[in-house]
Amino acid sequence: MLKNILLTGASGFLGSEIFKILSQEFKVTCLGRNNSDVNINLEFNIPFFQTSFFMVVHCLGKAHGIPKNYDDIAEFHNVNVIGTVNLLKGLENACIPDYFVYISSVSVYGLSEGYNVDENACLIAEDPYGKSKIESEKLIQDWCLIHNVRLTIFRLPLVIGNNPKGNLYNLIKGVKSGFYFNIAGGKARKSMVLANDVAKFVFKAAEVGGIYNLTDGYHPSILELSENIANQLGCLKPIQIPYWLAKVLAFFGDSLGAISPFNGEKLVKLTSNLIFDDSKARKAFGWKPNSVLGGFILSNK
């Protein structure tokens, strides 16, 4: 009989990759709002499980984004924190797993720039998404300690793969429409990782436990990624604009407030290096990822 794993968020961008990998060797029970084995909204309800799980992979959550109002801000807390609380209560009422894997984010570090940031860096995020991830991590750490569950936390940078949402979706959309531009040569390097690579190492890492940054080890520049997308789409390469012009546009964006797609904060992020150290994962469970630029293939062009 196959061992049973509970996977939350299996229909999502990363969750679907994790499901494909784990379901090859295990029985995977999926939890989500709809079209899942367990249909439930964790923001408001505690799940009732009729079976036991030897491992839980908690991938469900509200992804990174810029909140435009109070409701958007509250949703990060409701989905990522309250949803986690309710999941843990449901597990307590049914069974305690041996292993728990939580999909977190490098956003917990609260950094716009940095080089070789490792897992010992302070968690200083002040944005709603980063704060919700910090709080969720702490809840799960305390729960796993009390119940003697081996915990693994993946802190992920920009995740690359097919049918993405968030920043990667916007980048692809911008390149395809011709409305994306690189600033000051697009030389800023960012840590990234392939969704499929993360999925392939979930079980291996779970057996070890710990907190890990995962990257592709190369950290492509924004220019390299945007031109890779343009080449796959058969589009013109993104427009280049000088830094001074971007600064003028950011100034006007700041004056417009939340309705502006570009502002000073966005300018800093697009022109600053932000690189995370994944050497801990390489030593602990043999993390050997593929290059994002070599492994990213757009299937839906």
**Cβ proximity of 42 and 87 under 8 Å:** yes
Considering the domain boundaries, does residue 38 fall inside one? yes
User: Which of the pair, 227 or 65, is modelled with greater confidence?
Assistant: 227
Considering the domain boundaries, does residue 267 fall inside one? no
| pLDDT tens track for 278-295 | 999 999 999 999 999 999
pTM: 0.94
The percent of residues in the chain predicted with pLDDT above 70, rounded, is 96
**What pLDDT was estimated at residue 234?**
92
Residue 124: both structure tokens together: 């200083």
| pLDDT tens track for 87-119 | 999 999 988 999 999 999 999 999 999 999 999
pLDDT tops 90 at residue 73? no
pLDDT tops 70 at residue 65? no
CATH number at residue 283: 3.40.50.720
Considering the domain boundaries, does residue 73 fall inside one? yes
**What pLDDT was estimated at residue 1?**
60
Q: Is 46 helix (H, G, I), strand (E, B) or coil?
A: coil
Average pLDDT over residues 5-23: 95
Domain that holds residue 126: 4-162+192-216+276-290
| pLDDT tens track for 210-268 | 999 999 999 999 999 999 999 999 999 998 999 999 899 888 888 887 677 788 888 88
CA distances from 257 to 130, 178, 181, 288 (A): 21, 24, 21, 42
pLDDT tops 70 at residue 66? no
pLDDT tops 90 at residue 277? yes
Query: Domains in the chain: how many in total?
Result: 1
pLDDT tops 70 at residue 64? no
Helices (H) and strands (E) in the chain, counts: 12, 13
Considering the domain boundaries, does residue 241 fall inside one? no
Considering the domain boundaries, does residue 297 fall inside one? no
Considering the domain boundaries, does residue 118 fall inside one? yes
**What pLDDT was estimated at residue 47?**
96
Residue 98: is it exposed, middle or buried by C-beta count within 10 angstroms (0-12/13-18/19+)?
middle
**What pLDDT was estimated at residue 193?**
97
**What pLDDT was estimated at residue 77?**
93
Considering the domain boundaries, does residue 247 fall inside one? no
CA distances from 281 to 71, 205, 278 (A): 37, 8, 6
CA distances from 86 to 12, 14, 42, 43, 47 (A): 20, 22, 6, 7, 7
What is d(CA 41, CA 203) in angstroms, rounded to the nearest whole number?
A: 26
**Cβ proximity of 103 and 144 under 8 Å:** no
Sign of CA dihedral 158, 85, 129, 285: negative
Radius of gyration of the chain from Cα atoms? 20
**What pLDDT was estimated at residue 63?**
81
What is d(CA 201, CA 290) in angstroms, rounded to the nearest whole number?
A: 12
Considering the domain boundaries, does residue 269 fall inside one? no
